[in-house]
Amino acid sequence: MRIRSKKMLTEGEMRTLVQASKDYPRHYTWTRTLLWLGLRPSELVAIRCADVDIENRILKICGSARIQDRFLEIPGCLLKDFYSETRGKKPEDFLFYGRDGKVHKRTIQKLFQKLKSQTGIEITSPIIRKTIAVRMDSYGVPIKEIGSYLGCKTLRAIYKLTGKSAKTTPQKLFSIEKIIDLET
């Protein structure tokens, strides 16, 4: 049985993680992209240059057979990084390159381990995604929009991320007897 972490990142911890990755420009870009957009490592490494629309500030995250593609607004702080990563590359090239063409998910996991050893802050993709989901929820973003932003397949997954109960309390919306009167 997997033990799920209830931990979330504070704003201070997020800043510390970003600062710790500043010495390596690629790590800095990856860390900020993961923290701002809540991507899974597999989504980050799969981004191709054609998925980045700098002019309109849109990033396309390609879904799988069961998950639709989603489009995220590129935060202004990442535009310069995305522009420099796409410059001189073909549309079919991976945005972040590695030895075999693209960066591997394991490389991102190693980055998380390195950041933990430098800062003492536990960082994983689920912790980042939970942090984003809970913060969005606290700002009043509807649950379905949170799920769409993070690429969740089901409402249950979104509720699990936010820590909310999916059970709703029954509400009396109207009295059918007042709307339809068949007693006359």
> Which pLDDT score, from 0 to 100, does residue 138 have?
86
Q: Which residues of 98-131 are buried (b: 16+ CB within 10 A; e: fewer)?
A: eeeebbebebbeebbeebeeeeebebebebbbbb
Those residues whose C-beta lies under 8 Å from the C-beta of residue 101, and which sit 6 or more positions away, are 94
In the chain, what are the domain boundaries?
Answer: 11-162
**H-helix or E-strand spanning residue 59:** strand 58-61
Find the mean pLDDT for residues 157-169.
Answer: 74
Q: What percent of the chain has pLDDT over 90?
A: 60
Q: Give me the phi and psi of 61, to 5 degrees please.
A: -105, 115
> Which pLDDT score, from 0 to 100, does residue 94 have?
93
Q: What is the pLDDT of residues 96-145, one digit of tens each?
A: 988 777 899 999 999 999 999 999 999 999 999 999 999 988 888 898 89
> Which pLDDT score, from 0 to 100, does residue 90 have?
94
Q: Give me the phi and psi of 110, to 5 degrees please.
A: -65, -35
Name the burial class of residue 93, with classes exposed (0-12), middle (13-18) and buried (19+) by CB atoms within 10 angstroms of its CB.
Answer: middle
Radius of gyration of the chain (CA): 20
CB 104 within 8 A of CB 45: yes
Top-tier CATH class for 11-162:
mainly alpha
The C-alpha atoms of residue 117 and residue 121 are separated, in whole angstroms, by 8
- Predicted TM-score (pTM) above 0.95: no
Kindly state the tokens that stand for 181.
Answer: 């009167």
- Least confident interval from 21-35, 96-110, 159-173: 159-173
